[in-house]
Copies of this chain bind each other. A is one copy, B any other.
């Protein structure tokens, strides 16, 4: 069983690397996809390729749409969508991805610290698991693939 996992959300820490490394160490049959995590490239991709915009709204609009080609494919192809909410920023795109994943019937895992518990209650309620650490996500993927529990 190849499990396809999309890693959505926060792009300022190395949580994706932790999960991918843990899964690799466990020798699982899991393939990962993710948004472009280079913040500047992600913000400017639209105008860099398709031409500049004087209005910031359209600058952002072009970039967000171009990024959507990648993120929509990632979500559409995934069995499991992991959405990470970090400590900072609005991160509405993360919650938006979670909503898409839920509507498409994907298995949703939400990853966040206890401070966000109340504010994320609607997102958590749509999830099959709510984790606090990348290691827990690895342990879940190990369990889903092999039936083995940690330790």
User: CB within 8 Å of B: which residues of A?
Assistant: 1, 3, 33, 36-38, 41-42, 44-46, 48-50, 53-58, 60-74, 77, 79-80, 85, 89-105, 107, 109, 116-131, 136, 139-140, 143-144, 147-151
Q: Which residues of B contact A144 (CB under 8 A)?
A: 66, 69-70
Give the nearest-CB partner of A98 in chain B.
Answer: B96
Shortest CB-to-CB span from A36 to chain B, Å, is 4
- In angstroms, Cα B131 to Cα A119, docked, is 25
B129 near A92: Cβ-Cβ < 8 Å: no
Q: Is the CB of B50 within 8 A of A130?
A: yes
Indicate how many identical chains form the complex: 8
Contacts of A97 in B (CB 8 A): 99
Chain A contact residues: over half helix, strand or loop, or mixed? helix
Query: Which residues does chain B contribute within 8 Å of A38, judged by CB atoms?
Result: 147
With A50-B136, A69-B107, A129-B66 in contact, do A117 and B44 touch (Cβ < 8 Å)?
Answer: no
Select one of B61, B107, B116, B148 contacting A72, CB under 8 A. B107
- Tell me if A56 and B143 are in contact (CB < 8 A): no
A59, chain B: closest CB distance, angstroms: 9
